[in-house]
Amino acid sequence: MEVGGILAPGTINGTLLNQWRPGERLLVEVVHKTAEGKGIVRINGQDLLALLETSTQVGDKFWVKVGNSSQESLLLIREPLPEKQGDVHLVPQQFPQLTERGLPINQEILTLIKTFPSGAMDIQETMSDEFMLNLRKSIPEWGGLSEENGAEELVEFLRKLGINYEHRLAQIQKLDPQAKEAEKDSLKDTYKYKLLEALQNKEAHDHDGQSTHLLQKITAQQLWFKTGTLDNAFMLLHLPLLNQEQLVPVHIAIESSRKGSKMNEKHCRIAIQIETQQLGDVGIDAYFNQDSLFFRILTRYTQVLPQLLEMVMPQTRVKFSKLGFKLENVEIGDLEINLEFQNFLKGSRRSGVDIQR
């Protein structure tokens, strides 16, 4: 098989796969990489098909350790860059998600981070409560997210939740007196402030612990909203949307190279999973590379997608073109068996190189 003018093997030699043992240290060179994160790596003089991290570039050389292996693949874990002088060397290996997010070793924080990816922001149980009714009213309507103001509405909802609550508190001292009072009033209007106020009120009753649970969900979302400390930026986002008065959970994971202190939208992977009425859960796995876009649509009902795509693709290409991206390729896949996509939405990223058989 020829990939970009480079002759690449279609399979990995079974003998070679079996001779590498967990923990063994190998030198990897990146020979070729596509926009979808696939590529070719060279190990001990042999070229192998691989899945690569977003920030990996052709010509990169790095050391890896052999991780888990199966009949179809082998995971090679990239060794971290040498730590700067003064860095702490005390973080146990079982807390990688804490260290990736630049957080201290704290059991409560660890619990929030671990439980958030598999859950959703469940606000349906106490809809008779005035607080929950107001929260529901602030949730964006799926049909109302237009091309012009959709992003702004989502950002405003996150701000209303209190996604940057502590950051705003830290910045408030830098404001002049008039602006400081206005910012205080704005902070009091966030749901995080209202939950904290209710829980601190001795007369308030946290019925069945629901206020505490929602506060923990918001706090966990804040922790996963941080882009972390590694070479690649990574974040998880759980958004509830309203569709015909029904709550629809949306899960989003974004990994990108860094552009200063921001995420680089020109080199990133965006995974989205949303629950639909007709097709159940539908996933979008998109790769942005400069001005090109490649994505896969994942569902459990792949047989009905080709006809649907034929209807919407012309309009979809036009919309992405207005955003400055050329839609190069669209594939269809089975959501049920795409475990790498599902794990990505749970916070498990490609760590170094994943060799394909």
Helix 130-138 / helix 191-200 crossing angle, nearest 10 deg: 170
Ranges 35-39, 196-200, 216-220: which has the least confidence: 35-39
Domains, the chain, in order of start with CATH, read 2-78 (2.40.50), 89-229 (no CATH)
| pTM across the whole model | 0.69
pLDDT at 83 over 50: no
pLDDT at 260 over 50: yes
Q: What is the C-alpha to C-alpha distance for residues 299 and 239, in angstroms, rounded to an integer?
A: 20
Higher pLDDT, 73 or 216: 216
Ranges 56-60, 299-303, 312-316: which has the least confidence: 56-60
Higher pLDDT, 83 or 289: 289
Angle at 190 between CA 186 and CA 192, to 5 degrees: 140
Q: What would the pLDDT profile of 140-194 be if each residue is shown by its tens digit? A: 888 888 777 888 889 999 999 999 888 888 888 888 988 989 999 999 999 998 8
Q: What percent of the chain has pLDDT over 90?
A: 16
Q: Are 208 and 177 in contact (CB under 8 A)?
A: no
pLDDT at 110 over 90: no
Structure tokens at 352: 């170094």
pLDDT at 5 over 50: no
Structure tokens at 186: 């704005």
- The mean predicted confidence, pLDDT, of the chain is 77
pLDDT at residue number 334: 93
101 vs 24, 82, 97, 223, 279, CA distance in Å? 27, 18, 6, 7, 35
Q: What would the pLDDT profile of 276-292 be if each residue is shown by its tens digit? A: 888 889 999 999 988 89
Which of 123, 152, 126 has its CA nearest to residue 140? Answer: 152
pLDDT at residue number 332: 92
pLDDT at residue number 79: 64
